[in-house]
Amino acid sequence: MMEKTLASLLFDGLEGLADAGMVTRPVAYEIDGEPYEGVLVHDSSVQAPRPGLLMVPNWLGVNEASVRKAARVARGKYAVLLADLYGKAVRPRSPDEARPVIAALRADRPLLRRRARAALGVLRGLKGEGIDAERLGAIGFCFGGGAVLELARDGAPVKGVVSFHGNLDTPDPTAAANIRAAILVLHGALDPAVPPEQVDAFVQEMKGAPQVDWQLVSYGQAVHSFTNPLADAPGRAQYHPVVAKRAFCAMDAFFDELFQPAHHTD
């Protein structure tokens, strides 16, 4: 799937990021002996150690659009590792190509968690590149939102997890007992992909895990993919610039609070 290489994504069509001081570079790693390749995105003008965020993209995976979104997230605040959960050779070009890939992962949550855990380990290992390994978080969009919630349910050692218009279901709600991270769910109130029944089940799951600091923000008039400028399916998946801005601000406020106790003054 998708013959365009990651190197060409980074150097052909992303020149504007360089103008803004953003640095993007491929990060190769292995999971279960197979090659994977994510992208590290950060602002080269920031010299002090900064928090690191693992970002799991939507179902199309690592592509030019997800690299641009990682740059929007990073700005001068974070170093972002855009995670590859599919494998270096798997780059879906369309929803039809992505659908069986994510279906397989959603059907095998232990595998999904293992791949997300491996990517988090890669991020933690990048501390020599200005990442503060004591201030780590994870964020995800659509499929990625569900993936980072599964990472939290796996007890991953991150301060916080943010799901943007992600799936909230899980085959084992009792796994919430493992959660060590604070949780922020940013949800479109009219999202047909995440219906009220799924939201209610998530709320009950969180209520059953009293150790979890969790929040769910439901944005009125927003459907699925409200942060995706390419989403244009009215009533189903559609970009909402006002809600997107509010959601990114909510993410920043969430991590500002979580990362403050470890604030560096050097």
Residue 228: count other Cβ atoms within 10 Å of its Cβ. 22
> Is 76 within the bounds of a domain?
yes
Report which residue type is found at 154.
D
* DSSP assignment of 157-177: --SEEEEES-----S-GGGGG
> H helices of the chain, where?
6-11, 15-19, 64-74, 95-107, 109-124, 143-153, 196-207, 241-259
Q: The domain that contains 183 carries what CATH number?
A: 3.40.50.1820
188-215 residue pLDDT tens: 999 999 999 999 999 999 999 999 999 9
Query: In this structure, is residue 158 part of a structural domain?
Result: yes
Cα→Cα distances 206→135, 162, 200, 215, 253, Å: 23, 14, 10, 9, 21
The pLDDT assigned to 13 comes to 43
Residue 179 forms part of a structural domain: yes
- Within a domain: 128: yes
- For residue 178, count other CB atoms closer than 10 A to its CB: 15
Residue 1 lies in a domain: no
186 in a domain, yes or no?
Answer: yes
pTM (two decimals): 0.92
DSSP string spanning 51-93? Answer: EEEEEE--TT-SSHHHHHHHHHHHTTT-EEEE--SS-TT----
- Give me 113's structure tokens: 């968690």
Q: Per the structure block, which two tokens stand in for 200? A: 């209610």
The mean predicted confidence, pLDDT, of the chain is 92
Domain interval for residue 81: 6-262
Angle at 186 between CA 193 and CA 232, to 5 degrees: 50
pLDDT for 130 equals 85
Mean pLDDT by 10 residues, the chain (266 residues): 45 50 94 97 90 98 96 94 98 96 97 98 89 96 98 98 98 97 98 98 98 98 97 97 98 96 46
In a domain, 252, yes or no: yes
The total number of structural domains in the chain stands at 1
Closest CA to 9 of 79, 91, 78: 91
Q: What are phi and psi of 146, to 5 degrees?
A: -65, -35
CA gap 85, 105 in Å, rounded: 9
The answer as to whether 72 is a domain residue is yes
**pLDDT per residue over 11-53, tens digit each?**
444 545 544 688 999 999 999 999 999 999 999 888 889 999 9
- pLDDT of amino acid 129: 82
